[in-house]
Amino acid sequence: MTAKYYIACDLGAESGRVMLSTLADGKLQLEEVHRFANGPVQIQGSLRWNVLSVFEELKIGLRKVATRGVPVSGISVDSWGVDYVLLNDRQAMLSVPYHYRDSRTEHTYARAMEKAGQEKIFAETGIQFLPFNTLYQLVAECEKNPELVKIADQFLNIADYFNYLFCGVGRTEVSMASTTQIYNPHIQNWSAELIQQFDFPETLFPTIVPSGTKLGPLTPELCTETGLPPVEVIATCSHDTGAAVAAVPAEGDDWAYLSSGTWSLLGAELPTPLINDAARKHNFTNEAGFGGTTRFLKNIIGLWLLQESRRVWAKQGLQLDYAEINRLAEQAEPYRSLVNPNDGRFLKPENMPAEIASYCRETGQPEPETPGQFARCILESLSLLYGQLLNVLEQLTGRSISKLHIVGGGSQSKLLNQFAANATGRMVLAGPVEATAIGNLLIQAIATGDLESLEELRRVVRTSFTIETYEPQQTADWQQARQRFANLELDT
């Protein structure tokens, strides 16, 4: 097979990367061409995304790819969900987009619940209730910026927006559309009922396209600016979790996945949505996956707990990398303190270690005092939550789950992987780390005809990357920890 080259622009809440891949003889090789920091910007009491800076960084990455002189077959962007940019045919950006942790939805979320009700919204969308979903952001937008909404031609979620900047074609890819909580999976289009219920302008909603849609070539302006030829821009799975799940190296149907990063997304791949009262009460979600699949999952706070703790320690003058944090956690006393990672106090804390200590104090547990104790508390608590949610997932889907595939940055933590195996009582298969970029790149290969199917995509992943296995080590201590954790007030 002649080598094929693809570019993935993989945007996360902490950093972004431009990745160049080579696909040859059934194997994929990755090169991180450019990495840059990403994060929110405070502007007059609001939290925003600096998308113009991100665009400049992406162009730097594309220029670096151009110097390689390889024939690139495709380029695609993936990102987190829910946030968006408003635009029209005269202005490529009408305002600086809000960050999902901005406080503007705190009141609109409650009012939206009163106006439409959980039952109706879930029946229409099958999507879990998070106060920062696009639905509630648009409610806030229409209330606080009606003049802006009036002149907007459409909104585009972040990855779809950058695909638009690359090729000039504004479309919403279905995996991203499904995360907005305004998409109806039954009709595979925007929910006319919710659009009418919340008085949204119908013209605001862009055309939805399937995963793996060719959008058009790189614009002449960008070709000149980057040195690349008119490479085809492809909407793969614009939502990063959609891309990551496509790259899970699984076989059969006795497995669940955990996309482990700032957020932990734990779920199963289903052929059709599972929308019923039980799924709603447990706040599971039905997001679109590649090839018409459904990502039935639970979105929970993940390594955000550790990332924010590390940020606070750094401000206090204690610089620790994640390898050192994991080493300190391994040496710390086990099962000393446990928290419910889904407690609302951990969503937007000013001081994460202080919030964790407060939770432990309120629940009659010893407060963590050292970074190792905090990290151990976080990793054990996350693992125990994974175990509890896997049991709920089995009940909701009727499936027997014997394996948990952990992909993403969190799969690099051998300690967390082993804790997850111990806490869940299931075999853990860890890797690949770069699942999101891999899914992005290999869906491009399907779109261009270089691969044929999702099954072949996953076979390439299994052939190309090392997957580490962790067997559960069942002990009486873990059993006791499970019981202690179950006695905490949990949102499952």
pLDDT of residue 489: 66
The angle, 0 to 180 degrees and rounded to 10, between the axes of the packed helices 476-486 and 414-424 is: 80
**Residue 368, both tokens:** 């963590």
- Known catalytic residues are 240
Phi/psi for 471 (5° steps) reads -90, 145
At position 441, the amino acid (one-letter code) is L
State the Cα–Cα distance between residues 337 and 360, nearest whole angstrom: 7
Tokens 């905090």, located at residue? 374
| Superfamily classification of domain 4-240 | ATPase, nucleotide binding domain (3.30.420.40)
Euclidean distance between CA atoms 63 and 222, whole angstroms: 10
Fold of 248-431+452-492: Nucleotidyltransferase; domain 5 (3.30.420)
pLDDT tens over the chain, length 492 residues: 699 999 999 999 889 999 999 999 999 999 999 999 999 999 999 999 999 999 999 999 999 999 999 999 999 999 999 999 999 999 999 999 999 999 999 889 999 999 999 999 999 999 999 999 999 999 999 999 999 999 999 999 999 999 999 999 999 999 999 999 999 999 999 999 999 999 999 999 999 999 999 999 999 999 999 999 999 999 999 999 999 999 999 999 999 999 998 889 999 999 999 999 999 999 999 999 999 999 999 988 899 999 999 999 999 999 999 999 999 999 999 999 999 999 999 988 999 999 999 999 999 999 999 999 999 999 999 999 999 999 999 999 999 999 999 999 999 999 999 999 999 999 999 999 999 999 999 999 999 999 999 999 999 999 999 999 999 997 789 999 999 999 986 544
pLDDT at 417: 97
Which residue reads 């009262």 in tokens?
277
Q: What are the beta bridge partners of residue 406?
A: 258, 430
pTM (2 decimals)? 0.93
CB 130 within 8 A of CB 203: no
C-alpha 30/C-alpha 461 separation (Å) is 12
Distance between CA atoms of 344 and 246, rounded to whole angstroms?
A: 30
- Domains of the chain, by residue range, sit at 4-240, 248-431+452-492
Chain centroid to CA 313: 25
Positive or negative: CA dihedral 221, 94, 17, 269: negative
| Residues in Cβ contact with 386 at an 8 Å cutoff, skipping those fewer than 6 apart | 258, 264, 266, 404, 420, 423, 424
